[in-house]
Amino acid sequence: MRRTGARRPVALGCALALTGLLAACGGGPDNERVGGGTYRNGFPVTVEDCAGQETTIDAAPERIVTSNAASLELLLRLGAGDRVIGTGFPPSAGALPGQLDEQARAVPVLGEGVIDRETLLGSGADLYIDTFAATGALGGAAGFPTEEEFAAAGIAHMFLLSTACAGTLDGPREDLSAVLEDIRRLGAATGTTDRAGELVTDMTRRLDAVEAAVGGVPADERPTYWIFDHDAGTERPMAVCNRQVAHAVLTLAAVTNVFGDCDTDFRPSSWEDVVSADPDWIQLAVRNRGDAAALEAAFDEAEEFLRTHPATRGLTAVREGRFLRIGSEVTTIAGVRNAETVETIARAVHADRFPAAGEDR
C-alpha cells in the first residue's frame, strides 16, 4: 500500500479516478466496459478519497475490515466476503437477505459502533473500507487513526464516496451514480471487477425501467414525501437532507423530499417543520429487526405514533393512510438495494404509470 500526498478535488461519476483503470470513460483492448467507467482486471489500483488523496493497492487484499454494514454488504455481494476479517456497526441478525445474512453473521465484530483505534490498527487488516466522512463526523473523530498510522500498520484506507463525501458536494445528490461508482471501485480494489459489473448492470436496468415510467413527471407535480425515522427518536424528528443517498432515491422515484432544501445529509428538525411540509406520503423507515414479526410490530408502532401524536395526526398522509413500510437501511445506506427502493416507491406512489402484475404496458 502506497499513499501519495497530492490532493485535488474529486468529481463523482465518470471523472472519479481509479488511476490506470479509468480511461476517460472510453474502452480499450484489454479493458472491460462497466457502466460509467472502464476498468481493467489486475493491480495495482489507485483510489482517491473525498479530498483527492490517493492510495495505491498493490495486490488483491486478503484481510479486509469494514466500518459498517454498508461496506460489508457490498463486499459480500461482490464475493469478497471470505476476506473480511472484521466489521464495525454490524448488521442485525436477519437484516440481510438469504445467504448474505449467514455470511454477515460469520464476520467477527470489532466494534458495535465505530471500531476503536487500537483494535483497528491491530486487526491485521491490509484494507479498511470506510463509510464515514474523511474529515469531521465519525471518520475524523478524536482517537481515529491518522493516515500516517494506517500506512505504518500496512492498512490501505479506502472510502465509500457515496456516503463519505456529503460535505464536499456542490449540490444535491439526485442520482445513484456515486453508488454505482463505489461498486465499480470496490470491484477493482478487490479483484472482483466482473461481479461488480453484474451488480451495476442489474441496478441500471431497474433504474432505467423506473425512469421510463416516471421520469417525465414534472417537478411541480411530484407528490411530497417524508422519511420518518422513528428509531432516531421522536422528541425531534430527523430530517434526511439533499446530500444523503436517500434524497437521490426519492428524486429517481419522482417524489419530492420535504427536507430537500437542507444542504447536508442529516439534521435534527422539528414537528413544526413537518406540519408545515404536510407530506402527501410518509415512509415508515424503521431499522430491520431481523425478524418479520418484530419488523411489522416496529412499523405498527411508528404508524400508531403518527396517528396519535397531536402534531401529526392531522397530516394529509396520516388522514389518508398514505404510508409506505420500507426499511431505513435500504433507503439511507448506499448499496445494491437502493435501486429496489426506487422501484418500490415509484410503483406505490405512481401506480398508474406501471402495468399491473401480469399485464403488458
Q: Which residue has the cell 491518522?
A: 146
Residue 351: phi and psi, rounded to 5, are: -55, -30
- Any residues with CB less than 8 A from the CB of 41 and at least 6 apart, and which? 32, 191, 193, 194
Please give the Cα distance from 109 to 78 (Å, whole number).
Answer: 20
Q: How far is CA 338 from CA 158, 207, 235, 259, in A?
A: 21, 10, 28, 19
Q: How far is CA 71 from CA 143, 313, 350, in A?
A: 21, 38, 31
Q: What is the DSSP string of 57-85?
A: E-S--SSEEESSHHHHHHHHHHT-GGGEE
Closest C-alpha among 131, 160, 251, 182 to residue 13:
182
For residue 254, count CB atoms less than 10 angstroms from its CB and return exposed for 0-12, middle for 13-18, buried for 19 or more. buried
The helix or strand, by DSSP H or E, that contains position 266, with its residue range, turns out to be strand 266-268
Edge-to-edge strand order for the sheet containing 45-48?
Answer: 2-3, 54-57, 45-48
pLDDT at 354: 94
pTM to 2 decimals? Answer: 0.86
pLDDT at 209: 97
Amino acid at 53: Q
Q: What is the DSSP string of 15-49?
A: T---BTT--TT---TT-EEETTEEE-SSS-EEEE-
Q: In DSSP terms, which residues pair with 324 in a beta bridge? A: 283
Provide the terminal-to-terminal Cα distance of the chain, rounded to the nearest Å.
52
Please give the Cα distance from 325 to 317 (Å, whole number).
Answer: 13
Q: Digits of tens for pLDDT over the chain (361 positions)?
A: 554 433 333 333 333 333 333 322 233 333 332 233 456 678 999 888 888 888 889 999 999 999 999 999 999 999 999 999 999 999 988 889 899 999 999 999 999 999 999 999 999 999 999 988 644 444 445 578 998 999 999 999 999 989 888 888 889 999 999 999 999 999 999 999 999 999 999 999 999 999 999 999 999 999 999 999 999 999 999 999 999 999 999 999 999 999 999 999 999 999 999 999 999 999 999 998 888 899 999 999 999 999 999 999 999 999 999 999 999 999 999 999 999 999 999 999 999 999 875 555 5
Coil, strand or helix at 221? helix
pLDDT at 133: 65
Which domains are assigned to the chain? 59-202 (3.40.50.1980), 218-353 (3.40.50.1980)
pLDDT at 49: 83
Cell reading at 127:
484494507
pLDDT at 349: 98
Please give the Cα distance from 248 to 105 (Å, whole number).
Answer: 30
Q: In DSSP terms, which residues pair with 129 in a beta bridge? A: 66, 158
